[in-house]
Structure 1
């Protein structure tokens, strides 16, 4: 069945095409009687306005701002690269993307960047957030100025933002816990969780899910206090060295953030003892190489390309005043072992731009 057009609505309402166009686009200058007739015809025909077509006709430009952490690790390299690729690909929709990079985990830098957002030049902003009261308040101030706001990868209070795009980090943590427990069978063990920061919602949710599964289903395994790494490879390497000396019976490590270069370098230096079972995040070149070499055992991947695609779609819908899907779709992370690795991506699929 063909979709109703503005011409169909005009004919059914007994008014001109121009009148219908004015009513549909809320431009005024139409009598109340004609407005009611047009609205009745729209309801009768089931007409739905094609917002994308209307914006194309008006040569509208979507102005999107991304506030991303400085790409000090491969994950943000890949996220930034995916954003660049998406923004540069041929598309009838006019989308202007501006990216500002901030120091990772810096509440001050994030709040200052949010305060600089100008509603005259930004329609929608996207941030990798820190879940603190001050950041939530800064986000609310931005939205009060009419700018839509989407959180990416790491969320905040749902009431503070317009949408979140990313994986369910609580489920990701539970998945890591299940894999860690199963690898031990019913044997006792000693496991170390590594967290980037307690102010990142994604890390806290992963840790919560991991602890829940381990404590409920694998009580014979002892959990060490989580180490905070700030996603720094050197910190992870140093902490693992210290813990390995203090706990030579260490049987598992779950790194729920970045800094995997430090973890892999530490594993390569182990001699005389079996290494612990390793679960890490993000299937990036270093992680892939480690899987292939048998240095880590499982990788949970967030699919950065899918994250960016869904983020751009959500931002456009918000700016157009369209309803987001309900319930909001959550990206299902991929779990990779050495046996199910996908084809090797091109280097340009993950490496950052030099500008």
Structure 2
């Protein structure tokens, strides 16, 4: 029988992915490992069937998703979407490993990226913390031949291959337009609650929001931003204090997570008039608040679409194929209690 790539992998003591990298002259393989594979090719007398190799291009796609570990319902949904890909990945020749990191921790994220074995993986998707150390770690992965997609939150300066997420500046502008239309005439202070300035999606939402408020709704005054670290207890305490100390707050925009704390603070505040409130991401908590009227609008992104898009893009990039831009565009959904799914 003719020797196969499985025989080469067994003889050289490496993975099939590594054999594939060497045979296709792709980077990301140490010289000593490349020598082992090439020696096995010669010793076994392996002759490559070029037509078959082209037909089976990208026959296996080992991927790593680096995700923040938190009680944020959105990231829980994101993780379940990755698990779904992992469960059905065999039919699509995809294997998936999840690596957990603390949220908003650039050092931990960079360390996790540096620990990825380039010989065992062809693509990486990460929820980015926008920091030089993370951008540098992404650049190192790229230099070793891996394909990299940022997921949900992008990097300002990076060599990543693709971003799978919504247009966050547009999301912030949308929130400001809605608040302006519903609360702009009466005017008053507006409170923004964000997770962290260290992630670009939150900064972009704030930038879009502030630009529209300043340009189009001068009767609305943006208060100092609350940075709640997507933690319900911090959000409840900080927002409750702001509502108590600043009478007449007419609107709240929660552009991150910690929505349980947002709802507890709003529910515990004895307001003379309704506080128009916008939050992000549909969950059992925000759905209930929409139904009760405590929250007016939820802006939502589909975590399943984002994960599936990241996988499709990584596979295409590994194979050197173009992506379908319209298929990978992540839309922003706007939910009121009238159109809840």
TM range (shorter): 0.7 to 0.9
Are 1:135 and 2:134 matched, yes or no? yes
CA displacement at 1:92 relative to structure 2 = 2.8
SS at match of 1:310: helix
Q: 1:73 maps to which residue?
A: 72
Q: Deviations over 1:248-284 (max 9, x none)?
A: 2111110110000001111221235334111000011
CA displacement at 1:215 relative to structure 2 = 0.6
SS at match of 1:89: helix
SS at match of 1:146: coil
Are 1:151 and 2:153 matched, yes or no? no
User: CA separation in 2, counterparts of 1:51 and 1:163?
Assistant: 27
Are 1:212 and 2:211 matched, yes or no? yes
Q: 2:7 maps to which residue?
A: none
SS at match of 1:323: coil
CA displacement at 1:229 relative to structure 2 = 0.8
Question: Counterparts of 1:324-343 in structure 2 under 5 Å?
Answer: 324-325=323-324, 329-342=328-341
Question: Counterparts of 1:172-191 in structure 2 under 5 Å?
Answer: 172-191=171-190
The structure 1 residue matched to 2:56, chosen from 54, 57, 65, is 54
SS at match of 1:270: coil
Contact 1:70 1:103 survives alignment (8 Å)? yes
User: CA separation in 2, counterparts of 1:51 and 1:85?
Assistant: 29
User: CA separation in 2, counterparts of 1:90 and 1:53?
Assistant: 19
Note closer, same or farther for the CA distance 1:315–1:76 as it changes in structure 2 (3 Å cut): same
Contact 1:51 1:320 survives alignment (8 Å)? no
Q: 2:35 maps to which residue?
A: none
Contact 2:240 2:266 survives alignment (8 Å)? no
User: CA separation in 1, counterparts of 2:184 and 2:175?
Assistant: 15
CA displacement at 1:174 relative to structure 2 = 0.4
Question: Counterparts of 1:1-355 in structure 2 under 5 Å?
Answer: 54-55=56-57, 60-89=59-88, 92-157=91-156, 159-271=158-270, 273-325=272-324, 329-342=328-341
User: CA separation in 2, counterparts of 1:108 and 1:159?
Assistant: 16
User: CA separation in 2, counterparts of 1:295 and 1:269?
Assistant: 11
Q: 1:43 maps to which residue?
A: none
The ranges of structure 1 where at least 4 consecutive aligned residues each deviate by more than 3 angstroms after the TM superposition are 49-53, 325-329
How large is the RMSD of aligned CA atoms in angstroms? Answer: 2.2
Note closer, same or farther for the CA distance 1:142–1:90 as it changes in structure 2 (3 Å cut): closer
User: CA separation in 1, counterparts of 2:259 and 2:54?
Assistant: 42
CA displacement at 1:69 relative to structure 2 = 0.2
Gaps in structure 2 of 5+ consecutive residues: 1-22, 26-50
User: CA separation in 2, counterparts of 1:222 and 1:310?
Assistant: 38
User: CA separation in 1, counterparts of 2:311 and 2:109?
Assistant: 21
User: CA separation in 2, counterparts of 1:272 and 1:175?
Assistant: 25
User: CA separation in 2, counterparts of 1:251 and 1:50?
Assistant: 65
Contact 2:194 2:256 survives alignment (8 Å)? yes
Gaps in structure 1 of 5+ consecutive residues: 1-24, 28-48, 343-355
Q: Deviations over 1:143-198 (max 9, x none)?
A: 11111111000001364211110100010010001011111142212101111111
What TM-score do you get using the length of structure 2 for normalisation?
A: 0.81
CA displacement at 1:88 relative to structure 2 = 1.3
User: CA separation in 2, counterparts of 1:293 and 1:187?
Assistant: 23
Number of aligned pairs? 294
User: CA separation in 2, counterparts of 1:175 and 1:255?
Assistant: 13
Contact 1:267 1:275 survives alignment (8 Å)? no
Q: Deviations over 1:65-117 (max 9, x none)?
A: 00000032101001001111122137632111000111000011001001101
Contact 2:86 2:94 survives alignment (8 Å)? yes
Contact 1:131 1:199 survives alignment (8 Å)? yes
SS at match of 2:240: helix
User: CA separation in 2, counterparts of 1:331 and 1:224?
Assistant: 30
CA displacement at 1:315 relative to structure 2 = 1.0
